[in-house]
Amino acid sequence: MRRILFTLLSFVGFIFFSQVSSAQFDSTVSLTGGLNALKIAVPFLTIAPDSRAGGMGDAGVATSPDINSQHWNPAKFPFIESKKWGVAFSYTPWLRNLVNDINLTYLTGYYQVDKMQAISSSLLYFAMGEIQFTTDNPNDPPVKFFNPNEFAIDIAYSRKFSDYISGAIAFRYIRSDLSGGYSQPGQASAKAGTSFAADIAMYYQHPVKLSDKFGQMAFGFNISNIGTKLSYSDDPMKDFIPINLRLGGRLTMDIDSYNSFSFTVDANKLLVPTPPVYGVVDEQTVIVKGMNPNVSVVQGMLQSFYDAPGGFKEELNEIYYATGIEYWYARQFALRAGYFYENENKGNRKYFTVGAGLKYNIFNIDFSYLIPTGGFNSPMANTVRFSLSFDFEATRMRGQKVNNN
């Protein structure tokens, strides 16, 4: 059973964080720093769930506030103008180059209590298709069929501290079921992994003027998934979830009353221990470079800034970047493009993204498309995302106007 779970976890981890060429896919790590990707559970929490951010290179911590801010920075919700509340639905067929039954679904919504504060919530569901459990005898029929799945549900509270700055805190429950409780006789009992986590976020925006053009600058900060470790059995060894530090900025310029451009950039770092380099001394396996990764959550977050066996250079390599540009015409039609970069020794995710959006009456429609770079056949090639959001406050206001007439 452990072998099955390890294989499945390794596959999922490879898909998200180890998209490297076959020449790079080596289990050894040199003392001077080589392939050494961070090891986490439930990596689905790091996938961009919506099409708007997905079209801008997965940048979103400081983009203009929208209904999908829950994933990127819930502190943005109090700054949403002219919308009292709304909901959004996003769907991503995942890894279609490999399989046809893996997908990510995202449902989110918010409500502005007043002009200063808001509450919000979201559900992220990751379906991993169907797998079958077998015995060691290849002639035996499958023992069990199961559809592995993972989900996270959260709620957040956000509040303005002034006309320009706000903060938020979110609480999240995470569940990952990779085996349906199946375990072979004589092996450790399998179970679904669960975790509780929290986010701490802040957002700042301020009007600016460059030459004769008016615009807005913004900065965002979010530490997400600060939570308990996760295990799929009674084994005391548990895995870190993807505790992520995200920082970013944005500049929006209004060219005229119809046209505007926004430029945004995010920098991310996982606050989890870096795997050390192990060696054999006196017939015992010891750490020869780096630090012990089996530590508490708080200690792991702190040492994530200085524990890489390759030193400060490797720590810098663990930062991955997302940049994006967004063009709006008459606040109704949008075009987007972006680029995502991750060091080749830390996952090697590199891709361009493009996207478009349309506002029509009470709803918004968004679409994005991913184009991998790096010179190898990425399983993420041709990834598309679809999002649909509704502005119910607009519906209520229009209904009032009709009744008044």
Compute the Cα dihedral for 35, 36, 41, 43 and give only its sign. negative
User: 292: which strand partners?
Assistant: none
Q: What's the pLDDT score for residue 97?
A: 83
Which of 57, 26, 51, 6 minimizes the C-alpha distance to 341?
57
Enclosing H/E stretch for 402:
helix 392-404
Cα torsion at 187, 190, 196, 200 (round to 10°)? 80
Question: What is the distance between the alpha carbons of residues 38 and 27, in angstroms, rounded to a whole number?
Answer: 13
Collapsed DSSP state (helix, strand, coil) of residue 203:
strand
> What are the start-end ranges of the H helices in 18-123?
51-54, 69-72
pTM: 0.87
Range of the domain at 379: 2-404
Kindly report the backbone phi and psi dihedral angles of residue 203, in degrees, each rounded to the nearest multiple of 5, phi listed first: -145, 140
Which of 59, 18, 40 minimizes the C-alpha distance to 174?
40
DSSP letter for 399, please. Answer: H
Question: What is the distance between the alpha carbons of residues 40 and 233, in angstroms, rounded to a whole number?
Answer: 16
CB of 194 within 8 A of CB of 174?
yes
pLDDT digits 0-9 by tens, 191-212:
899 999 999 999 999 999 988 8
SS (H, E, C) 305-359: CCCCCCCHHHHHHCEEEEEEEEEEECCCEEEEEEEEECCCCCCCCEEEEEEEEEE
pLDDT digits 0-9 by tens, 254-265:
999 999 999 999
Question: What is the distance between the alpha carbons of residues 228 and 197, in angstroms, rounded to a whole number?
Answer: 7
Q: What's the pLDDT score for residue 355?
A: 98
Collapsed DSSP state (helix, strand, coil) of residue 401:
helix
Collapsed DSSP state (helix, strand, coil) of residue 125:
strand
CA-only gyration radius of the chain, Å:
23
Question: What is the distance between the alpha carbons of residues 100 and 112, in angstroms, rounded to a whole number?
Answer: 39
Q: What's the pLDDT score for residue 404?
A: 43
Q: What's the pLDDT score for residue 81?
A: 86
CB of 372 within 8 A of CB of 351?
yes
Question: What is the distance between the alpha carbons of residues 309 and 315, in angstroms, rounded to a whole number?
Answer: 9
Question: What is the distance between the alpha carbons of residues 204 and 70, in angstroms, rounded to a whole number?
Answer: 16
pLDDT-flagged residues of the chain (< 50): 1-32, 394-405
- Number of residues that make up the chain: 405
Question: What is the distance between the alpha carbons of residues 301 and 388, in angstroms, rounded to a whole number?
Answer: 36
Domain CATH for 372: 2.40.160.40
Give the pair of three-digit tokens for residue 367: 């679409």
Question: What is the distance between the alpha carbons of residues 62 and 371, in angstroms, rounded to a whole number?
Answer: 23
Give the type of residue at 70: Q
Kindly report the backbone phi and psi dihedral angles of residue 267, in degrees, each rounded to the nearest multiple of 5, phi listed first: -125, 130
Q: How many domains does the chain have?
A: 1
